[in-house]
């Protein structure tokens, strides 16, 4: 059995929009639903509803737990930083991505998966995203929420 790695320390002065007690509750509920460390997007939505928090907060909790991963079935994945970049605009990106995901599903368009990550190694270019599609893996530095619809449409080749 591999040794359990310690959690990375939070950046100095970093305060998540999700209070630690709420994040721990969300994490515990996600772990209870996990199968072999994987949870579905439906699990994340169900846990947010159970706790009565915005969907983005459940994604923040998931992104902060390295022992849990999102089960990904969609061809286009967009990773958002749910770590220290919350203070640099990443929460607005995460919330807009989740809106676009829901809008696309309602419209019957090709789906996207929104993937929370504690860090994308793009800290100096925050708020940033990392996409994975048929075109490969690409960083998207200094993204604005108002640019996301166009970016998602391009990745999905609408
Ligand atoms: S903490 Fe957000 S990209 Fe590193």
Cα–Cα distance for residue pair 140/40, rounded to 1 Å = 25
82, 119: one domain: yes
Which is the closest atom of ligand 1 to the Cα of 11? 1
Q: Does 6 score more than 60 pLDDT?
A: no
Q: Tell me the CA–centroid distance for residue 108 and ligand 1, in Å.
A: 32
* C-alpha distance across the termini of the chain, in Å: 45
Q: Is the CB of 85 under 6 A from ligand 1?
A: yes
Ligand 1 probe mutation, 11, 14, 85, most atoms within 8 A of CB:
85
The reported pLDDT for the residue numbered 15 is: 78
Which residue bears the tokens 């930083």? 81
**Predicted confidence (pLDDT) per residue in 62-109, tens digit:** 999 999 999 988 889 999 999 999 999 999 999 999 999 999 999 999
83, 147: one domain: yes
Cα–Cα distance for residue pair 39/32, rounded to 1 Å = 10
81, 151: one domain: yes
80, 137: one domain: yes
Q: Tell me the CA–centroid distance for residue 97 and ligand 1, in Å.
A: 17
Cα–Cα distance for residue pair 49/87, rounded to 1 Å = 25
Q: Which of 40, 19, 52, 156 is nearest to 100 (CA)?
A: 156
Q: What is the mean pLDDT of residues 142-152?
A: 96
**Predicted confidence (pLDDT) per residue in 98-145, tens digit:** 999 999 999 999 889 999 999 999 999 999 999 999 889 999 999 999
**Predicted confidence (pLDDT) per residue in 20-53, tens digit:** 999 999 999 999 999 999 999 999 999 999 999 9
Considering the entire predicted model, what is its pTM? Answer: 0.86
**Tally of domains in the chain:** 2
63, 91: one domain: no
Q: Which of 135, 11, 19, 7 is nearest to 78 (CA)?
A: 135
Which is the closest atom of ligand 1 to the Cα of 88? 2
Q: Tell me the CA–centroid distance for residue 120 and ligand 1, in Å.
A: 5
Give me the domain span that covers residue 118.
Answer: 76-155
Decide the pairing of beta strands 112-117 and 129-133.
Answer: unpaired
Q: Is residue 12 part of a domain?
A: no
64, 102: one domain: no
CATH classification of the domain holding 144: 3.40.30.10
Which pair of structure tokens corresponds to residue 133? 């599609």
* Domain end point (choices 70, 104, 132): 70
């Amino acid at each position: 059995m591999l040794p359990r790695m310690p959690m990375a320390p939070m950046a100095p002065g970093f305060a998540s929009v999700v209070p630690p007690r709420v994040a721990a509750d969300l994490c515990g509920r996600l772990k209870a639903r996990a199968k072999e460390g994987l949870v579905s997007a439906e699990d994340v939505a169900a846990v947010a509803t159970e706790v009565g928090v915005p969907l983005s907060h459940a994604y923040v909790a998931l992104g902060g737990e390295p022992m849990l991963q999102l089960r990904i079935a969609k061809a286009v994945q967009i990773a958002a930083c749910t770590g220290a970049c919350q203070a640099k605009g990443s929460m607005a990106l995460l919330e807009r991505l989740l809106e676009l995901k829901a809008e696309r599903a309602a419209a019957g368009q090709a789906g996207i998966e929104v993937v929370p990550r504690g860090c994308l190694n793009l800290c100096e270019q925050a708020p940033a995203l990392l996409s994975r599609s048929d075109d490969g893996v690409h960083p998207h530095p200094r993204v604005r929420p108002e640019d996301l619809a166009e970016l998602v449409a391009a990745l999905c080749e609408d």
